């Protein structure tokens, strides 16, 4: 469990990063029911939710916008996926650059503070890369 700080942007970025880790867990989930239930609970989803549906539910319920930005030179160049997540907190951007390994950036602004947190999630990165293609 994360300890709260006096920087709301930091706290919110860490909370969203934990949600992304839970989504990555569900994408790779095979048999550990405790792991599945813990991830679904962190995402505030019903315990009977199919792990394969978790990302679409997450995006539909928490994302205000999803943008895919492509390089105008062609599809062989990297794309960027940006998710504006605003449900229940300050302005938050989730960014995935298809040329950046397995990194996903969570950047939060609260009017006074700004914080960027990087997480490295192979399964979620692959999933988002497929959306970009």
Block means of pLDDT (10 residues each) for the chain, 133 residues, are 73 93 90 87 92 88 83 71 81 87 92 93 90 75
Residue with tokens 């205000």: 64
Residue with tokens 């040329």: 99
Which tokens sit at 89?
């907190």
Which tokens sit at 114?
């700004």
What's the pLDDT score for residue 104? 94
Bridge partners of residue 66, in order along the sequence: 83
What's the pLDDT score for residue 100? 80
What's the pLDDT score for residue 18? 95
Distance CA 64, CA 108 (A): 14
Residue with tokens 């029911």: 33
């Amino acid at each position: 469990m994360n300890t709260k700080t006096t920087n709301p942007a930091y706290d919110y970025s860490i909370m969203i990063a934990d949600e992304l880790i839970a989504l990555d867990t569900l994408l790779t989930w095979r048999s550990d029911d405790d792991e599945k239930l813990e991830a679904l609970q962190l995402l505030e989803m019903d315990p009977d939710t199919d792990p394969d549906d978790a990302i679409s539910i997450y995006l539909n319920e928490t994302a205000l916008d999803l943008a895919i930005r492509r390089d105008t030179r062609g599809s062989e160049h990297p794309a960027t996926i940006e998710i504006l997540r605003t449900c229940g907190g300050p302005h938050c951007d989730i960014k995935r650059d298809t040329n950046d390994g397995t990194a996903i950036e969570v950047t939060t602004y609260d009017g006074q503070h700004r914080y960027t947190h990087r997480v490295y999630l192979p399964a979620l990165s692959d999933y988002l890369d497929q959306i970009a293609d």
